[in-house]
Chains A and B, each alone.
Chain A
């Protein structure tokens, strides 16, 4: 099934490659953080989150966007539940 899916999936065009390369490049450029800084920051944020929620760590995404002259950091974390250990607090 998977290979069938692949068969129908269109080959990525060079402009799509350019766009995704740029998106990754600019994410770093705009924050002026190194890749290591970013990874470390993510790790620390996620460490805090995991005390409160369960999340799908494969689908965690980070985006840096500029709007009206300001830079925003967006982190999207798909929440899939609450950790059992904290249930007693409610």
Chain B
């Protein structure tokens, strides 16, 4: 039986979809059978980030309405044969799927796959609840900004209230230079505030945008900081003990050496 993860954030635009795509690819690169699920009905994006937008025939709403079988809606990745996408419907609304239907889809998927990664829509309403309902575990994505951290706190509370336990946190788009100057919340600050376990940190990296432009998740590359950060997170998801080296803003150890330490996997 596979594990079902929901990737969520509360606030939009913090990188849920990018995280889902990269973790999906990363787990598949390590040989796991993975499906990524786009639960953002009406505003689908995961297909684009994965570069699979031209391969979609059916979607998750077709599946729950019985217009096709689950297997028919699954889009196989063009690079990895053990990675799949269950796309969202683009011309429907969140109300097109009920929680019961979502639960059923999840229980079917976990029988086929090692990992089911559900990309949640922003917000705290139906869309989020449906995305989370079938999940065993939750990953909350935030950026080191006041609004994103506040929304992350709210979503952590809601996930706990839904009985999903304490979620793991990914802090995205960290800019070391700004943290050093005291102009960005540090990893420590965010953890002090949210008090949940840290799954990983991802530096703000232009390569992520380049990768999205091309529809090739950045984790496929070997030469980017974000790619290394995602690979570390994937290893942690699979139970490996990859240390997260703390960035403390006012220490005088070399900036670049710290960066290398931080993302060099050691």
Q: Which residues of A does B touch, CB under 8 Å?
A: 13-16, 18-19, 21-23, 25-26, 29-30, 65-69, 71
Residue among A26, A69, A71 with the highest chain B CB neighbour number at 10 A? A69
Chain A's closest residue to B183 (CB) is A14
Inter-chain contacts of A15 with B (CB < 8 A): 179, 182-186, 189, 249
Interchain CB contact under 8 A, A29 and B150: yes
Interchain CB contact under 8 A, B193 and A16: no
A21–B101 CA distance with the chains assembled, in angstroms? 41
A21–B149 CA distance with the chains assembled, in angstroms? 11
Please encode chain B, from 220 to 255, with 1 for each CB lying within 8 Å of some chain A CB and 0 for all others. 000000000000000000000000000001000000
Inter-chain contacts of B249 with A (CB < 8 A): 15
A67–B192 CA distance with the chains assembled, in angstroms? 11
Interchain CB contact under 8 A, A69 and B185: no
The stretch among B90-98, B153-161, B198-206 that forms the contact with chain A is B153-161
Inter-chain contacts of B195 with A (CB < 8 A): 65-67
Interchain CB contact under 8 A, B183 and A29: no
Interchain CB contact under 8 A, B193 and A19: yes
Main secondary structure, interface of A, reads helix
Asked if B166 is at the interface (CB within 8 A of a chain A CB), the reply is yes
Asked if B146 is at the interface (CB within 8 A of a chain A CB), the reply is yes
Instruction: Tell me whether A29 and B185 are in contact in the complex, defined as CB-CB below 8 angstroms, given that A15-B249, A67-B195, A68-B166 are known contacts.
Output: no
**B163–chain A nearest beta-carbon distance, Å:** 10
Interchain CB contact under 8 A, B154 and A29: yes
Contact of A69 among B154, B160, B184, B194 (CB under 8 A): B160
Interchain CB contact under 8 A, A22 and B182: no
Interchain CB contact under 8 A, A21 and B183: no
Contact of B150 among A14, A22, A68, A71 (CB under 8 A): A22
Asked if B266 is at the interface (CB within 8 A of a chain A CB), the reply is no
Asked if B264 is at the interface (CB within 8 A of a chain A CB), the reply is no
Contact of A22 among B146, B154, B160, B166 (CB under 8 A): B146
Inter-chain contacts of B166 with A (CB < 8 A): 68-69
The 6 closest A-B CB pairs, nearest first, are A13-B182, A69-B160, A19-B189, A14-B183, A66-B195, A18-B146
Please encode chain B, from 145 to 181, with 1 for each CB lying within 8 Å of some chain A CB and 0 for all others. 1100110011011001000011000000000000101
Inter-chain contacts of B160 with A (CB < 8 A): 69
Interchain CB contact under 8 A, A30 and B189: no
A13–B64 CA distance with the chains assembled, in angstroms? 51
A80–B183 CA distance with the chains assembled, in angstroms? 39
**A28–chain B nearest beta-carbon distance, Å:** 11
**A35–chain B nearest beta-carbon distance, Å:** 16
Chain A's closest residue to B159 (CB) is A69
Contact of A23 among B154, B179, B181, B193 (CB under 8 A): B193
Instruction: Tell me whether A26 and B193 are in contact in the complex, defined as CB-CB below 8 angstroms, given that A15-B249, A21-B146, A69-B165 are known contacts.
Output: yes
**A63–chain B nearest beta-carbon distance, Å:** 12
Inter-chain contacts of A13 with B (CB < 8 A): 181-183
Inter-chain contacts of B183 with A (CB < 8 A): 13-15
Inter-chain contacts of A69 with B (CB < 8 A): 160, 165-166
Inter-chain contacts of B150 with A (CB < 8 A): 22, 25-26, 29
A71–B189 CA distance with the chains assembled, in angstroms? 19
**B246–chain A nearest beta-carbon distance, Å:** 15
